[in-house]
């Protein structure tokens, strides 16, 4: 009963293979334009890939390319889509919106409304049943949209950034709701937010430039990122280079010293060996900022140019190209930091993890 997908779209440089087991929720993370929405459209049948195949259990969704051709229309796929906007049909009440799926599947009016009431209750929206979408707030509308997608009884639920259009008060509530309804349900959720991945997904797939760059259990990907994007999501610095006995040597020749961390992950091919590709990963809090080169420890001290200063919680995040440091506002003021200034980033080697890429 696994969902498998293998699809390429030449024009968009899209080439993705993935599988989602029964009851599994997979989060798709990736920067804008990485192909996340393309992936959803291909699965839902709204976009025809150049080649590939997809199936749920034994049922073929599509098979394109040389050889046999098959194409299942979107309405026969059982892949309900929940988008950023709720897209509730404006001419139907909330109840009839939710009843739309069952009704389309052939249920009687009263039976489909019964199903709709059940799902509205599941999302705490039963009191909104008789309202028109125009009378709902953004958060209420999205809850009804969740109920509508679930009422269609999909074999695979597709959620395309469902929280992105909500205000900061409505998002947490919907996230809790999704956590509740996605338990034990097969779903793919596209998100920008690491919190969504942590709370909702069993597994994370990082998509960059139309290709999967990282894949694994959520905790592992966020705890031991191998891609810069995943590191960014996890709020970690990531430096790529070649593994040496001391740490990582970058292409530019800088040495990032750190602790070899050989716990094998799912993609780990073996223990870190000198000369192979690896990454150095460390939190911004492991980085200190100095105006001049440190005297005592020559290790892990790098001259950088500040590109940005921004508040980050109760700290100030100092960005310098790909690296960032978190320091206190007081320290920032004492140092008189401004963008364009050249400073030294000094990284505590004990907090730098080195592992194979």
Partner 1 sequence: MDHANNSAYQAIPRWVYALAAAGGLFVLLPLAAMVARVNWPQFIPLITSDASLTALGLSLRTSAASTLLCIVFGVPLALVLARGQFPGQRVLRAFVLLPLVLPPVVGGIALLYTFGRQGLLGKSLEIAGIQIAFSTTAVVLAQTFVALPFLVVSLEGALRTAGTKYEAVAATLGARPTTVLRRVTVPLVLPGLASGAVLSFARSLGEFGATLTFAGSLQGVTRTLPLEIYLQRETDADAAVALSLVLVAVAVLVVGLSYRRGRAWIPAEAAQ
Binding residues (CB under 8 A) for partner 1: these are 44-46, 73-81, 83, 85-92, 100-101, 104-105, 132-134, 136, 138, 141, 148-149, 152, 154, 158
Cβ at position 32, least distance to partner 1 in Å = 19
Q: How many CB atoms lie within 10 A of CB 52?
A: 19
Backbone angles phi, psi at 225, to 5 degrees: -65, 145
Cβ at position 182, least distance to partner 1 in Å = 17
Cβ at position 52, least distance to partner 1 in Å = 19
Q: Which CB atom, from 78 or from 223, has the smaller least distance to partner 1?
A: 78
Backbone angles phi, psi at 259, to 5 degrees: -100, 125
Cite the beta strand spans of 246-295 per DSSP E.
247-249, 255-257, 259-260, 277-282, 287-290
* Rounded distance between C-alpha atoms, residue 70 and residue 61, angstroms: 8
* C-beta contacts of 123-127 below 8 A and 24+ residues apart: 123/147, 123/150, 123/177, 123/181, 124/177, 125/94
- At residue 114, the 3 state secondary structure works out as helix
Q: Which CB atom, from 81 or from 357, has the smaller least distance to partner 1?
A: 81
Q: Which CB atom, from 152 or from 205, has the smaller least distance to partner 1?
A: 152
- Report how far apart, in Å, the C-alpha atoms of 40 and of each of 28, 29, 79, 89 are: 10, 13, 10, 21
What letter does residue 30 receive in the DSSP assignment? -
Cβ at position 331, least distance to partner 1 in Å = 43
Q: Which CB atom, from 72 or from 332, has the smaller least distance to partner 1?
A: 72
* C-beta contacts of 16-23 below 8 A and 24+ residues apart: 16/207, 16/210, 16/211, 16/212, 17/212, 18/205, 18/212, 18/215, 20/156, 20/186, 20/187, 20/188, 21/186, 22/186, 23/184, 23/185, 23/186
Q: Which CB atom, from 140 or from 218, has the smaller least distance to partner 1?
A: 140
Q: Which CB atom, from 92 or from 331, has the smaller least distance to partner 1?
A: 92
Cβ at position 42, least distance to partner 1 in Å = 12
Q: Which CB atom, from 89 or from 290, has the smaller least distance to partner 1?
A: 89
Cite the beta strand spans of 32-134 per DSSP E.
51-56, 59-64, 70-71, 81-82
Cβ at position 3, least distance to partner 1 in Å = 15
Widest Cα–Cα separation across the chain: 80
* 127-112-55 Cα angle (round to 5): 115
Q: Which CB atom, from 51 or from 165, has the smaller least distance to partner 1?
A: 165
Cβ at position 99, least distance to partner 1 in Å = 10
Tokens representing 43 are 């699965």
Cβ at position 15, least distance to partner 1 in Å = 24
Cβ at position 152, least distance to partner 1 in Å = 4
110: which residues sit within 8 A by CB, 6+ positions away? none
Q: Which CB atom, from 153 or from 246, has the smaller least distance to partner 1?
A: 153
Strand 301-305 relative to strand 342-347, pairing: antiparallel
* 218-222-228 Cα angle (round to 5): 130
């Amino acid at each position: 009963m696994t969902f498998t997908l293998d699809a390429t779209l030449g024009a968009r440089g899209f080439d993705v293979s993935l599988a989602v087991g029964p009851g599994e929720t997979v989060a798709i993370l990736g920067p804008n334009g990485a192909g996340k929405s393309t992936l959803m459209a291909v699965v839902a049948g709204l976009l025809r890939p150049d080649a590939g195949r997809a199936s749920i259990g034994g049922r073929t969704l599509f098979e394109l390319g040389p050889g046999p051709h098959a194409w299942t229309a979107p309405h026969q796929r059982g892949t309900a889509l929940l988008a950023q906007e709720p897209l509730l049909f404006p001419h139907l009440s909330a109840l009839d919106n939710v009843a739309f799926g069952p009704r389309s599947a052939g249920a009687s009016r009263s039976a489909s409304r019964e199903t709709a009431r059940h799902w509205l209750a599941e999302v705490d929206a039963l009191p909104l049943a008789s309202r028109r979408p125009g009378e709902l707030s953004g958060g209420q509308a999205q809850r009804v949209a969740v109920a509508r997608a679930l009422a269609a009884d999909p074999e695979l639920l597709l959620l395309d950034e469902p929280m992105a259009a909500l205000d900061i008060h409505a998002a947490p509530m919907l996230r809790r709701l999704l956590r509740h309804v996605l338990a034990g349900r097969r779903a793919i959720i596209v998100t920008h937010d690491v919190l969504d991945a942590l709370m909702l997904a069993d597994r994370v797939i990082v998509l960059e430039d139309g290709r999967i760059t990282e894949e694994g259990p959520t905790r592992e990907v966020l705890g031991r990122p191998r891609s810069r994007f995943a590191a960014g999501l996890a709020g970690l610095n990531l430096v790529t280079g070649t593994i040496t006995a001391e740490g990582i040597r970058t292409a530019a020749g800088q040495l990032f010293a750190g602790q070899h961390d050989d716990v094998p992950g799912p993609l780990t091919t073996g223990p870190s060996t000198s000369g192979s590709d690896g990454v150095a990963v460390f939190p911004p809090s492991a980085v200190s900022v100095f105006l001049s080169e440190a005297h005592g420890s020559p290790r892990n001290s790098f001259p950088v140019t500040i590109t940005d200063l921004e508040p980050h919680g109760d700290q100030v995040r100092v960005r310098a190209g790909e690296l960032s440091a978190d320091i206190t506002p007081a320290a920032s003021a004492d140092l008189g930091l401004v963008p364009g200034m050249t400073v030294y980033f000094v990284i505590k080697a004990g907090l730098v993890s080195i592992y194979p890429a």
